[in-house]
Chains A and B, each alone.
Chain A
């Protein structure tokens, strides 16, 4: 798009995630949009944001135009404070050093459970997906912000397989499973920002993206959403946010 007042779906998604972050936090990031968002937050006034990668990186500062193709590539270590083993960086989650996990998802359900393993029955799947990677560890042990493409087939009542746990079957089932900390904090799509209600732990609409209606969000979702009485409308991306983002991903690898 030529005019900076216009933006793509992945651009607004990235910017909205970056806005969720405050300086001083320690975030564990997946690659792609989540990494781009964390890096964008660093450039937009949170230079003290510490980014961790499952490949074994503490405090990454990724270079514009040189986004790593995975969280295990040498590009991830550029200007980092430390490199360590993959198990050891993941153990920081278990010890409690991480504030937020940033992830993308293929399929999510009303309780915020993510599936990246199987479409269909796991014993005879229609599609075998790549699997959890560090996703299960991150979502089991910290508060999650998830970036999703908003499609009905991705927002389902019940995921085919819980790869990365949200609130499992709602209410106290997450804690009862032994997951005493963390959980889904925000889900962000090109249509809206979501959180989870305190009692049932079901997905609710927190804010609509500019120009989006409640009906539109519900129509693209495969289960009944909770609509709060006071739903705000998100501020559109600013020129500054967009131009900074575009310097980070000039080849539009992740924001096409």
Chain B
């Protein structure tokens, strides 16, 4: 019996066998990184909502004119807008898709989904977690007790309800998700890909283990000696990482724990513009902020020093006592 939905175990094992898992340098530039993502790939996105979004990488994939990506993220926000609006993705799997609680509904998501131009497949938040976890564990599914009885499960042909062979209780089986490639942004890692994540880790560890390929973007690259001084802080091991890209402020205009909060003025203006006109507003945003800049630093300068510094000051003083 084969399944289109869940990758066969031998395929998952073969994919790992083919990867060079040695302790080797993997540093590439942001411009080179899209070569690790094929058109039509399934792409797992790290972070959550407005936090530790691998925004620079997504921005670069859009600039590289990637097409037909199927993306997944536990909770997706303006990054999902950009992926739909640019045509880079035509399908998104998530538990929640809007620009952020403060702004209400995403008119961009609504435009693409209500007009059948793209698909948003909804799972519960824990359902997303079980999908990545099963993927990371090398098992085809995990049982779960939520989603049962709801329409969230009824409209998902991928799930199966069973009676537990031990207790007879109803359980929902959640299929594994093993993305072709994961994009994860971290505070620091070494050139080999040993990644240290401060604060909220969301589903990034399971995602990194589940994916068949991992691209890390990092606020800074540190030495392997520094990693080895505090190995308990390493959350993603080098052996599941395929590329390392150093991108300071790589989550802007979203936040990165301990370093900066979101660039709220930029996001406010963004939401006004794209919700005002999800097609034309988005086209203007992409032209100005994604296609026109010469580099990521150039994009940051368009957000503005004032705004970036304000976000930095707020982020770095948040945990003062």
Residue of B nearest to A125 (CB): B114
B315–A74 touching, CB < 8 Å: yes
A112 to chain B, nearest CB (A): 13
B50–A70 touching, CB < 8 Å: yes
In the complex where A132-B95, A132-B96, A132-B124 touch, is A74 in contact with B199 (Cβ < 8 A)?
A: yes
Identify the stretch in B164-172, B238-246, B272-280 within 8 Å (CB) of chain A at 4 or more residues: B164-172
- Given A85-B205, A128-B109, 14 more A-B residue pairs with CB atoms under 8 Å apart are A66-B318, A74-B255, A74-B261, A78-B318, A87-B130, A91-B126, A129-B105, A132-B95, A140-B146, A141-B145, A165-B150, A177-B170, A178-B148, A253-B102
A69–B102 touching, CB < 8 Å: yes
Partner of B148, one of A86, A127, A179: A179
Residues of chain B touching chain A, judged by Cβ–Cβ distance below 8 Å, are: 48-51, 74-75, 94-98, 100-102, 105-106, 109-110, 113-114, 120, 122-130, 132-133, 144-152, 155, 161, 169-172, 199-203, 205-206, 255, 257-258, 261-262, 315, 318-319
B202–A94 touching, CB < 8 Å: no
8 A Cβ contacts from A114-167 to B: 117, 122, 125-137, 140-141, 161-165
Identify the stretch in A7-15, A53-61, A196-204, A236-244 within 8 Å (CB) of chain B at 4 or more residues: A53-61
B97–A136 touching, CB < 8 Å: no
B149–A168 touching, CB < 8 Å: yes
Residues of B close to A134: CB separation below 8 A: 95, 124-126
A220 touches B (CB below 8 Å): no
A133–B105 touching, CB < 8 Å: no
A124 to chain B, nearest CB (A): 8
A178–B102 touching, CB < 8 Å: no
A163 to B132, CA, bound (A): 21
Residues of B close to A126: CB separation below 8 A: 114
Residues of B close to A130: CB separation below 8 A: 96-98, 105-106, 109
A173 to B149, CA, bound (A): 9
A128–B145 touching, CB < 8 Å: no
B201–A56 touching, CB < 8 Å: yes
Residues of B close to A129: CB separation below 8 A: 105
For A, the interface residue count at a CB cutoff of 8 angstroms equals 55
In the complex where A73-B51, A131-B94, A134-B95 touch, is A177 in contact with B149 (Cβ < 8 A)?
A: yes
A86–B51 touching, CB < 8 Å: no
A26 to chain B, nearest CB (A): 17
Partner of B113, one of A83, A128, A141: A128
B101–A55 touching, CB < 8 Å: no
A69–B262 touching, CB < 8 Å: yes
A132–B102 touching, CB < 8 Å: no
A31 touches B (CB below 8 Å): yes
A179 to chain B, nearest CB (A): 5
A69 to B98, CA, bound (A): 13
Sample 24 A-B pairs with CB under 8 A, ordered by A number.
Answer: A56-B201, A69-B101, A70-B101, A73-B49, A73-B51, A74-B315, A75-B261, A86-B129, A87-B129, A94-B126, A117-B122, A127-B110, A128-B110, A130-B105, A132-B123, A132-B124, A137-B125, A137-B127, A137-B146, A140-B146, A163-B150, A164-B150, A165-B148, A178-B161
Pairs of residues from A and B, 10 with the lowest C-beta to C-beta distance, nearest first: A177-B149, A87-B129, A178-B170, A140-B146, A133-B96, A130-B98, A178-B148, A136-B124, A134-B125, A90-B126
In the complex where A122-B151, A140-B150 touch, is A133 in contact with B201 (Cβ < 8 A)?
A: no
A125 to B100, CA, bound (A): 21
